């Protein structure tokens, strides 16, 4: 697999030359694409050179150890370091989704369970908000429909943040949250202390920039209507809510979170671009399509990816077998170990596919 780095060195040098040309930066889409690929190759080449250097140092230490036994320990250390670098390099060389370096649009919807499901959707949003804070990401609510007892019937947020390593941007991690989340607990509306099971659905797509997806105004039908709120609260008296229908695909997006019709239109267009980008990726990549379909087909308790059991303080991911008894901490944003199990399972699957 490491032989592939030789070709990457040539590509890296070519990209360096192209990025120095004024005409490259005259095309914003091209410049961003080339910069992203250049950064990816730079990371791979840096680890490859580190792997090579450990090998050369280990060989030199081995020769010295033939005359001086005190160098034997250094040989072992350098060999261990080379193996660790080889493992990192192998991970970097596994083909990955280019959208992993993008920001994310995340939507949480209540499902089976009525008011309890809406309250759980609110708990999930809080978990993602706390997790974003811990990673230094910014979370912006684009649209929200609250329930009468609190929580959300649906809420859509944009998650923005940089990535120091490939796959560590919001979409690269949060994409594993897509699916049905099941909760087992005593609802606040339950007077006899019985445990109920309900579910909420999470959908995650990469956020598209304006240059990623072209939206023709002639392809849009835009309707305006009055916003609604829980229990008659916060209901606008003007037609500020916006519904956009993308006629070629039939995708419908609505936003009513802002007081301004213009602001709601801009938020709806952000969500629409993200969904169009996801749809385009599905059409181009069968594996991406399968991953997309596996997120939320119906918000049914039986189609769950994860269970949150409050009486046992247990969280279980049914895709990876991950289980821990610190649900309270996870809901407070300690989500990384759960996501790490998904990242590792995904990497193992892609490595296995390469070897076949």
Domain boundary among 53, 73, 93: 93
Asked if residue 226 has pLDDT above 90, the reply is: no
- What pLDDT, in 10s, does the model give residues 104-116? 999 999 987 788 8
- What 281-289 contacts at long range (C-beta under 8 Å, 24+ apart), as own/partner pairs, is 281/99, 281/206, 288/97
Q: What CATH number is given to the structural domain containing 258?
A: 3.30.70.1660
Q: Are residues 71 and 122 in the same domain?
A: no
Pair 59, 163 in one domain = no
The residue ranking higher by pLDDT, 227 or 65, is 65
Instruction: Examine residue 355 and state whether it is found in any structural domain, yes or no.
Output: no
Same domain (yes/no): 43, 129:
no
Nearest to 300 by CA among 169, 57, 37, 113: 113
For residue 238, what are the contacts with CB-CB under 8 A and spacing of at least 6? Answer: 226, 261
Q: Are residues 74 and 173 in the same domain?
A: no
As a whole number of angstroms, the longest Cα–Cα distance in the chain is 89
Query: Nearest Cα to 138, choosing from 155, 157, 115?
Result: 157
Residues 42 and 149 both lie in one domain: no
69: which 2 tokens? 């036994």
Q: Give the pLDDT band (50/70/90) at residue 260.
A: confident
Number of domains in the chain: 2
Could you tell me if 79 and 119 lie in one domain?
no
SS3 197: strand
Full residue range of the structural domain in which residue 224 is found: 100-350
Q: What is the pLDDT of residue 94?
A: 83
Chain mean position to CA 334: 16
Q: Quick check: is 229 in a domain?
A: yes
- 35, 61, 93: which is the final residue of a domain? 93
pLDDT at residue 349, as a whole number: 85
Same domain, 26 and 115: no
Last residue of a domain, one of 93, 123, 144: 93
In whole angstroms, give the CA distance from residue 126 to residue 74. 49
Q: What is the band of 296 on the pLDDT scale with cuts at 50, 70, 90?
A: very low
Q: What is the pLDDT of residues 51-92, one digit of tens each?
A: 999 999 999 999 898 888 888 899 999 999 999 999 889 888
Angle at which helix 28-65 crosses helix 72-93, to 10 degrees, equals 160
How many Å apart are CA 46 and CA 54, to the nearest integer? 12
Q: Are residues 69 and 120 in the same domain?
A: no
What is the pLDDT, as a whole number, of residue 232? 42
């Amino acid at each position: 697999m490491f032989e592939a780095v030789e070709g990457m060195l040539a590509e890296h040098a070519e990209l360096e030359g192209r990025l120095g040309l004024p005409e490259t930066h005259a095309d914003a889409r091209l410049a961003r694409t080339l910069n992203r690929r250049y950064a990816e190759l730079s990371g791979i080449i840096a680890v490859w050179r580190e792997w090579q250097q450990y090998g050369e140092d280990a060989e030199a230490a081995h020769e010295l150890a033939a005359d001086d036994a005190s160098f034997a320990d250094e040989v072992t250390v350098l060999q261990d370091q080379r193996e660790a670098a080889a493992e990192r390099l192998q991970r970097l060389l596994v083909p990955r989704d280019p959208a992993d370096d993008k920001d994310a649009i995340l939507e949480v919807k209540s499902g089976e369970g009525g008011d309890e499901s809406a309250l759980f959707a609110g708990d999930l949003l809080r978990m993602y908000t706390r997790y974003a804070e811990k990673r230094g990401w910014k979370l912006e609510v684009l649209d929200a429909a609250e329930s009468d007892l609190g929580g959300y019937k649906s809420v859509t947020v944009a998650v923005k943040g940089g990535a120091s390593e490939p796959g560590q941007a919001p979409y690269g991690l949060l994409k594993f949250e897509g699916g049905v989340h099941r909760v087992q607990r005593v609802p606040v509306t339950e007077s006899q202390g019985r445990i109920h099971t309900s579910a909420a659905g999470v959908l995650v797509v990469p956020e598209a920039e304006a240059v990623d997806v072209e939206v023709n105004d002639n392809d849009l039908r835009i309707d305006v209507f009055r916003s609604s709120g829980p229990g008659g609260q916060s209901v606008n008296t003007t037609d500020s809510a916006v519904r956009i229908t993308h006629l070629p695909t039939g995708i419908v997006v609505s936003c009513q979170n802002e007081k301004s019709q213009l602001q709601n239109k801009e938020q709806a267009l952000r969500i629409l671009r993200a969904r169009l980008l996801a749809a385009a990726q599905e059409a181009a990549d069968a594996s991406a399509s399968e991953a997309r379909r596996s997120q939320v087909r119906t918000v049914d308790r039986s189609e769950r990816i994860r269970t949150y059991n409050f009486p046992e303080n247990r969280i279980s991911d049914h895709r990876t077998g991950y289980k821990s008894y610190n649900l309270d901490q996870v809901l407070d944003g300690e989500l990384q170990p759960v996501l790490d199990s998904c990242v590792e399972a995904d990497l193992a699957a892609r490595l296995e596919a390469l070897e076949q």
